[in-house]
Amino acid sequence: MALEHHPRIVTNGLVMYVDAANTRSYSGSGITANGLIGGIGGTLISGVGFGTSNNGHFIFDGTDDYINFGNSAIIQQNSGTISAWAKASSPGGSFRGIIAKRLAYGLFYADSVLVTYDWNTNITRSSGINIADGTWKNVVMTYQSGITNGTFIYLNGVSVLTTTITIQNQTSNLFGGAEAVASQYASCQISSFNMYDRALTAQEILQNYNATKKRYGL
């Protein structure tokens, strides 16, 4: 299997892929972002913008913008991987979603620090790293619900947190640029989102980063 823009990324288990740089995924206008894999795309809500730098990216205003990816069965994964390329300077205070599914799994800015959240225990799992420095970041989480130290956060291909999360339920939609149920909208730019139906290995995470980093001058 090959993808037009990034033929070297891992495709085994890839179930969702939306990329603003690929005109088959987003034309540069309108409210529909098509999925490049599996037919799972998203709807742009409340005026999500588009920029042309770095081959294309979505622009979220931090007030009410987000992309709604829905809640199809393929998104309801108890073990998987979520990933995004994101850039922010001032994403907003407290929690702001990058890619998140409430009560299940997600990556957030929390006062600009990269975190995930365990809804089962109501505890923030923090990397301790401020990623809102105005540069592009590849943020990834692999998760295995209920497995002690079975969840990992990666930043630019490097593991920065080993932790535990337990999915509470799968009733909410998956969102990009926000956790919209809780109105946690991020002021940021995001160029791509993807999801796998399995937890990628550290080697595979690094492979994906190396395959895409040139677009961001890295």
How many CB atoms lie under 10 A from the CB of residue 201?
Answer: 13
d(CA 12, CA 14): 6
pLDDT for res 4: 45
Q: Out of 3.40.250.10, 2.60.120.200, 3.40.50.300, 3.30.450.90, select the CATH number for domain 14-212.
A: 2.60.120.200
pLDDT for res 39: 85
Q: What are the domain boundaries of the chain?
A: 14-212
Structure tokens belonging to residue 172: 């909410």
pLDDT for res 8: 87
Closest CA to 58 of 217, 187, 183, 215: 187
Q: Are the C-beta atoms of residues 194 and 107 closer than 8 Å to each other?
A: no
Residue listed under structure tokens 């179930």: 15
SS3 per-residue string spanning the chain: CCCCCCCCCCCCCEEEEEECCCCCCCCCCCCEECCCCCCCCEEEECCCEEECHHHCEEEEECCCCEEEEECCHHHCCCEEEEEEEEECCCCCCCEEEEEEECCCEEEEEECCEEEEEECCCCEEEEEEEECCCCCCEEEEEEEECCCCCCEEEEECCEEEEEECCCCCCCCCCEEECEEHHHCEECEEEEEEEEEECCCCCHHHHHHHHHHHHHHHCC
pLDDT for res 3: 46
From first to last of the 218 residues of the chain, give the pLDDT tens digit. Answer: 344 444 589 999 999 999 999 999 999 999 999 999 988 999 999 999 999 999 999 999 999 999 999 999 999 999 999 999 999 999 999 999 999 999 999 999 999 999 999 999 999 999 999 999 999 999 999 999 999 999 999 999 999 999 999 999 999 999 999 999 999 999 999 999 999 999 999 999 999 999 999 999 99
